[in-house]
Structure 1
Amino acid sequence: MTASRPLAELPPSTTAGPVPSDVAEALRAAAAEEERGARPIGRSIDLLRQADLLTDDGATDPARTARALMQVGAANLGVGRLFEGHVNALHLVRLYGTKVQEAQVDRQIAKGALLGVWGADGAAPVTLDATGQHLQGGKCYASGLGTVTHALVTVDSGPEVRLALVDVTDAAPADPSAWDMQGMRATASGSFDFTGLPVDRNEWIGNPGDYLKEPHFVGGVWRIAALQVGATAGLLDRAATELRAAGRMEAEAQKSRLMDALMRAWAGMALTERAAEAAADRHIAPDDIVATSIAARLFTEEIGLDAIRAVEQSIGLRHFEAGSETGRMARDLAVYLRQAARDAFLQRAAQTALGEDGRIWGVFG
Structure 2
Amino acid sequence: MMRDLEMTTSPDDTALHEIARRLDDGAAARDAGTAPIRPALLALREVGLLDDDGTPDPALTARRLMRIGAADLSVGRLWEGHMNALYLAQIHGDAQARAAVQALVADGAILGVWGADGAVPVAPGADGLTLDGSKVFASGLGTVTHAVVTVSSGPQVRLGIVDATDWGRADPAPWQMPGMQATASGHYDLQGTALCCVIWLGDPGVYVTEPHFVGGVWRIAALQVGGALGLLDAAATVLRTRGRLSAPAQMDRLATAVIAAMAASALVTRAALAAVPDAPDAADRAPILSAAARLATEGIALDAIRTVEQSIGLPHFEAGSVTGRKARDLSVYLRQAARDALQTRVGAACFAEGDDLWTYL
Query: TM-score normalised by the shorter chain: which range applies?
Result: over 0.9
- The amino acid across from 1:319 in the alignment is H
Aligned residue runs from structure 1 range 142-291, under 5 A: 142-200=138-196, 203-280=199-276, 281-291=278-288
Find the partner of 1:336 among 324, 333, 352: 333
1:158–1:39: structure 2 CA closer, same or farther, 3 Å change rule?
A: farther
Q: 1:48: Cα distance to partner? A: 0.4
- The amino acid across from 1:214 in the alignment is E
1:15–1:24: structure 2 CA closer, same or farther, 3 Å change rule?
A: farther
User: Which residue in 1 is equivalent to 2:99?
Assistant: 103
Helix, strand or coil: the match of 1:224?
A: helix
Alpha-carbon distance between aligned partners in 2 of 1:106 and 1:345, rounded to the nearest angstrom: 33
Structure 1, residues 248-277: CA drift from partner, whole Å, max 9, x if none? 001000000011000000011000000000
Count of paired positions: 352
Moved more, 220-229 or 92-101: 92-101
What runs of 5+ residues in structure 1 fail to find an aligned partner? Answer: 1-12
Find the partner of 1:131 among 127, 131, 138: 127
Query: Does residue 321 of the first structure (1) align with residue 318 of the second (2)?
Result: yes
Alpha-carbon distance between aligned partners in 2 of 1:239 and 1:67, rounded to the nearest angstrom: 21
Alpha-carbon distance between aligned partners in 2 of 1:79 and 1:285, rounded to the nearest angstrom: 29
Alpha-carbon distance between aligned partners in 1 of 2:130 and 2:198, rounded to the nearest angstrom: 13
1:295–1:14: structure 2 CA closer, same or farther, 3 Å change rule?
A: closer
Q: 1:232: Cα distance to partner? A: 0.4
Helix, strand or coil: the match of 1:141?
A: strand
Alpha-carbon distance between aligned partners in 2 of 1:72 and 1:195, rounded to the nearest angstrom: 35
Moved more, 83-92 or 196-205: 196-205
- The amino acid across from 2:302 in the alignment is L
Alpha-carbon distance between aligned partners in 1 of 2:253 and 2:193, rounded to the nearest angstrom: 53
User: Which residue in 2 is equivalent to 1:298?
Assistant: 295
Q: 1:356: Cα distance to partner? A: 2.9
Alpha-carbon distance between aligned partners in 2 of 1:46 and 1:124, rounded to the nearest angstrom: 33
Structure 1, residues 123-178: CA drift from partner, whole Å, max 9, x if none? 11001012222111101000000000000000000011001100001100100001
State the TM-score, normalizing by the size of structure 2. 0.94
State the TM-score, normalizing by the size of structure 1. 0.93
Q: Is the 8 A contact 2:114 2:150 kept in 1?
A: yes
Q: CA RMSD in A?
A: 1.5
Moved more, 338-347 or 296-305: 338-347
Helix, strand or coil: the match of 1:250?
A: coil
Query: Does residue 349 of the first structure (1) align with residue 346 of the second (2)?
Result: yes
Alpha-carbon distance between aligned partners in 1 of 2:279 and 2:49, rounded to the nearest angstrom: 25
User: Which residue in 2 is equivalent to 1:9?
Assistant: none
Q: 1:30: Cα distance to partner? A: 1.1
Helix, strand or coil: the match of 1:296?
A: helix
Q: 1:98: Cα distance to partner? A: 1.5
User: Which residue in 2 is equivalent to 1:3?
Assistant: none
1:80–1:285: structure 2 CA closer, same or farther, 3 Å change rule?
A: closer
Q: Is the 8 A contact 2:141 2:170 kept in 1?
A: yes
Helix, strand or coil: the match of 1:232?
A: helix
Q: 1:358: Cα distance to partner? A: 5.0
Find the partner of 2:32 among 18, 30, 36: 36
1:202–1:154: structure 2 CA closer, same or farther, 3 Å change rule?
A: closer
Structure 1, residues 333-357: CA drift from partner, whole Å, max 9, x if none? 0000011111111111111111134
What runs of 5+ residues in structure 2 fail to find an aligned partner? Answer: 1-8
